[in-house]
Structure 1
């Protein structure tokens, strides 16, 4: 199974949050997606939203970009 990814580095909140919500809602249980985020508001809002809605979120930082590994539980 290929892991999906979504590049949100050019997006700012609230658009980044809306795109992340849409992509994560399409996941089946156990599926993963990788989100690439740079906006401070998105870095705060996306993990908070996903954690409240049954997703596992892991953070990694790489060259000015935060990589969010999201798994639908």
Structure 2
């Protein structure tokens, strides 16, 4: 599993997911073979943990062949 750094308030979770997958695949984010919005609503993902005091939780989904897990504290983990 490859964890990324927690996102800051300036970096929304959907962008963090795209960047983490692109880095893992060693491609530019625009070269990913799948659009994030084809597998999950990016706006919903961003707003799910938007609170500055999240109560916890995770979301897991499949994107570009990876099982992506996003936590309330902004961690993005990938597993093949």
User: Is the TM-score greater than 0.5?
Assistant: no
Bigger relative contact order, structure 1 or 2, given CA contacts below 8 A and separation 6+?
2
Structure showing greater radius of gyration is: 2
More strand by share: 1
The TM-score normalised by the length of structure 2 is 0.36
Normalised by the size of structure 1, how large is the TM-score?
0.38
